[in-house]
């Protein structure tokens, strides 16, 4: 079952079950997916949907940080609740050891040896790890490996 179909099925289940919080978040996700499809005039596959979901989670994490610094714990908690729902549809995140193994494979493939090769290495890693790993952590580990 595709990710979009799973979202639709879960939306119907949330409507029937009266779960208004989940329903609202799934509607936001569907709207973001539809907006991306209309803007780019494409039909998103699962990888495209994962990219949209990753972006939504990142936006919400940024909002949580801003709300917490402003002392608005109520709004921060609402954003955290949305993150929980969105993350249900993301693939399982890779651990640091798995990311390090992927970096080593990419280093062997590209022959990267110094910090000057970081862009080329990240260019290889980003499509492979998108949606599966925190790209900030990947970048940090690549810097350590090449540094």
Q: In angstroms, what CA-CA distances link 118 with 3, 78, 104, 130? A: 32, 37, 13, 17
- Res 126: pLDDT: 86
- Kindly state the tokens that stand for 67: 């709300």
% of the chain with per-residue pLDDT over 90: 54
Q: Which of 82, 72, 121, 76 is nearest to 99 (CA)?
A: 121
Average pLDDT, the chain: 91
Distance set, CA 41 to CA 7, 36, 55, 101 (Å): 21, 8, 19, 36
pTM above 0.85, yes or no: no
CB 29 within 8 A of CB 89: yes
Work out the average pLDDT over 94-98: 87
> Is residue 53 pLDDT above 90, yes or no?
yes
Band (pLDDT 50/70/90 cuts) for residue 128 is confident
Residue 121 scores a pLDDT above 80: yes
The model's pLDDT over 133-146, given as tens digits with 9 standing for 90+, comes to 888 888 899 998 88
Sequence-distant (6+) residues with CB within 8 A of 94 are 102, 129, 132, 133
Write phi, then psi, for 122 (nearest 5 degrees): -65, -35
Binned at pLDDT 50, 70 and 90, residue 16 comes out as very high
Question: 86 pLDDT exceeds 90?
Answer: yes
Task: Taking residues 82-95, report their average pLDDT.
Answer: 91
């Amino acid at each position: 079952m595709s990710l979009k179909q799973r979202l639709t099925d879960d939306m119907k289940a949330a409507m029937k079950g009266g779960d208004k919080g989940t329903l609202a978040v799934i509607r936001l996700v569907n709207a973001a997916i539809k907006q991306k499809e209309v803007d780019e005039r494409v039909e998103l596959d699962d990888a495209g949907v994962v990219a949209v979901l990753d972006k939504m989670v990142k936006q919400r994490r940024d909002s949580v940080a801003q709300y917490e610094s402003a002392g608005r714990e109520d709004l921060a908690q609402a954003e955290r609740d949305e993150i929980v729902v969105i993350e249900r549809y993301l693939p399982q995140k890779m651990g640091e050891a798995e990311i390090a193994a992927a970096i080593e494979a990419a280093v062997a493939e590209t022959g990267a040896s110094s910090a000057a090769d970081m862009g080329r290495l990240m260019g290889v890693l980003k499509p492979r790890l998108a949606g599966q790993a925190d790209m900030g952590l990947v970048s940090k580990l690549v810097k350590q490996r090449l540094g």
